[in-house]
Amino acid sequence: MRYLHADLEVCKKVIDGKWHTDSEGVSVFSDMDFMGEVTICDCYHLCTANFIAESREGWPEAINRAIAAESEVEGLQELISGLEFCVYNGGQANNGYQESYECPYCHGSKQDGHFEDCKISQIIKR
């Protein structure tokens, strides 16, 4: 398993600037400073040079998107878990009502119901 935050730190440590290949496509350059191009590497294959040049900007963007997606999935899983809890415990559970039911989000009781800004309450109303 990869550690996305560690991979992103590796991306941040490379030579800054836009990377591109030379006219033959076998050398990778960065135009980062006022002195001109800085050679990043020489490759034996065009596809390798292109991969290296494109990965300079592509990998950090892909990693940031993956981190954001993982965070969103985690939030949705938490919301689903809360929804399942509310639906199950707010109604018939264990062959009877649970009088001490409390929503894990808004902490509204079974008797008082959900508070107005509760995520679970908004989903249940739909």
pLDDT confidence bin for 95, thresholds 50/70/90: very low
Do residues 42 and 29 touch, judged by C-beta distance below 8 A? no
Domain that holds residue 58: 4-125
pLDDT of residue 24: 81
pLDDT of residue 70: 94
DSSP assignment of 9-68, as one string? HHHHTSPPS-EEE-TTS-EEEEEEETTEEEEEEE-SSHHHHHHHHHHHHHHHHHHHHHHH
List, for residues 19-73, the tens digit of each pLDDT value: 888 888 788 888 765 567 788 889 988 888 999 999 999 999 999 999 999 999 9
With 60 as the cut, is the pLDDT of residue 97 above it?
Answer: no
With 80 as the cut, is the pLDDT of residue 85 above it?
Answer: no
Q: How far apart are CA 70 and CA 77, in angstroms?
A: 10
Number of domains in the chain: 1
